[in-house]
Chain A
């Protein structure tokens, strides 16, 4: 049963993309396999993401969803298959190629991972000044604009440890946006937050989606995934088990695994 559905999925992406199949995919993943020793955690992933598309990746823990996301900017090494972002192939062990690719992919983490020794403003400015050689004044101006955008204009000189979790995560979003990425990866970005702080972060993500940012997000916020995403990917046992528009996946799940997963949430 599982094998039949996964065999059918490679044809699904084109049908699922809202922009139509004419535009070139911004992220292209083909036959990706990843192993830890003999334990295969990704068993052949094919996924194309269109520009401006919002993709939610759901599934049980251990299904490989975070690993897949982390493969896209090279935080995880994979053994087989190919991955490219805006036509740039991901090449492990080639620092120059990795640096080029990572300038197109932003990532936001579950634990924010702000740099604790730098002020909020410096956190946002660091990568543009180093990697894009932007001069200090321009980088500061951009950082202020981005912090204002995530509602933290007055926190430029604050230290990360003076902020709440929700504020820290919004700074992390501003920091990722400062590199002007084409794709933003969100790895369970609200999982470490107190419930009352989840909303402020999701509102920022939602505004990004509305502005046409390409988003891939691993999330446990099913209501959010349903509301914001164009396509939902359900991962199970290292494979894309089911994929489609949110109304279809949440409304009429086809496989027993997804039915079970969704039932367990209620």
Chain B
């Protein structure tokens, strides 16, 4: 049997962590773009957007991420689309993230006083100008902290992609544990890796929140 040192465990986990980070980034950037589009469709009162987006958000908030991953992986295969575990995980996490961000950001937009909208309307600003110059900047300021906080949720959420065979941090941990017969040590290392990724982000989120709370 090959002997695994603690260094070997961390080295292998480190390699797999790149996929965790990659998946989280794809989900966050893609989810942010989709979420913003959903939010704008809703705010612009496009026909059907109000109900459509609300339903979309309810769907993804009301079902476990694990089920969404299963459905993306096995469901697409059912339609004859052979997707890799990577693609399925990226898709599911992007949709999941978009639903949550659309809802988080909607709350931030709704926190902007109605008088700001009315002042912008009175000055004949178009919807796009209002969003870009009046409501957007103010909402973005409020949104920073909860958005960064949600990034932590997404990073931890990527662990579930291990169940459809995507080799990221958790899946790598399982494989190493099977090889070394030291599950406690290995999973403790896995947990430490997640902590090392998430803690700095949480800390940054808290710092931002404090700073933004103290005026501008």
Chain A residues packing against B (C-beta within 8 Å): 73-75, 95, 98-100, 102-103, 105-107, 109, 111, 113-117, 126-127, 130-131, 159, 161, 172, 175-176, 179
Interface check B148, CB cutoff 8 A: no
B126 lies within 8 A of A109 (CB) = no
List 17 interface pairs A-B (beta carbons < 8 Å), by A numbering: A95-B127, A98-B124, A99-B126, A102-B121, A105-B122, A107-B118, A107-B119, A113-B115, A114-B119, A116-B216, A126-B125, A126-B134, A127-B125, A130-B133, A131-B126, A161-B215, A179-B123
B115 lies within 8 A of A131 (CB) = no
Question: Nearest residue in B to A109 (C-beta to C-beta)?
Answer: B115
The 8 Å CB contact of B122, one of A95, A100, A107, A161, is A107
Rounded to whole angstroms, the CA-CA distance of A172 and B122 in the bound complex is: 12
Q: How far does the Cβ of B139 sit from chain A's closest Cβ, in whole Å?
A: 10
Chain A-chain B contacts (Cβ-Cβ < 8 Å), number = 67
The 8 Å CB contact of A115, one of B121, B134, B141, is B134
Rounded to whole angstroms, the CA-CA distance of A61 and B8 in the bound complex is: 76
Rounded to whole angstroms, the CA-CA distance of A113 and B114 in the bound complex is: 9
Rounded to whole angstroms, the CA-CA distance of A155 and B14 in the bound complex is: 55
Rounded to whole angstroms, the CA-CA distance of A171 and B138 in the bound complex is: 20
Chain B contact residues: helix, strand, loop or mixed = helix
Question: Nearest residue in A to B215 (C-beta to C-beta)?
Answer: A161
- Sort A-B residue pairs by CB-CB distance and give the 7 closest, nearest first: A127-B123, A113-B119, A102-B124, A113-B115, A107-B122, A103-B124, A131-B124
A115 lies within 8 A of B119 (CB) = yes
B118 lies within 8 A of A131 (CB) = no
B216 lies within 8 A of A117 (CB) = yes
Residues of B within 8 A of A106 (CB): 122
Rounded to whole angstroms, the CA-CA distance of A176 and B137 in the bound complex is: 21
Question: Nearest residue in B to A159 (C-beta to C-beta)?
Answer: B216
Interface check B129, CB cutoff 8 A: yes
Rounded to whole angstroms, the CA-CA distance of A100 and B126 in the bound complex is: 11
Residues of B within 8 A of A159 (CB): 216
Q: How far does the Cβ of B128 sit from chain A's closest Cβ, in whole Å?
A: 10
The 8 Å CB contact of A102, one of B113, B116, B123, B134, is B123
Residues of A within 8 A of B134 (CB): 115, 126
B125 lies within 8 A of A131 (CB) = yes
B216 lies within 8 A of A73 (CB) = no
Which residues of chain B from 101 to 125 have a CB within 8 Å of any chain A CB? 113, 115-116, 118-125
A116 lies within 8 A of B138 (CB) = yes
The 8 Å CB contact of B124, one of A75, A99, A116, A172, is A99
A113 lies within 8 A of B126 (CB) = no
Given contacts A109-B118, A111-B115, contact A117 B137 (CB under 8 A): yes
Looking at A98, A106, A107, A115, the one whose CB has the most chain B CB atoms below 10 A away is A115
Type the 1/0 row for B43-61, where 1 means its CB is closer than 8 Å to any CB of A.
0000000000000000000
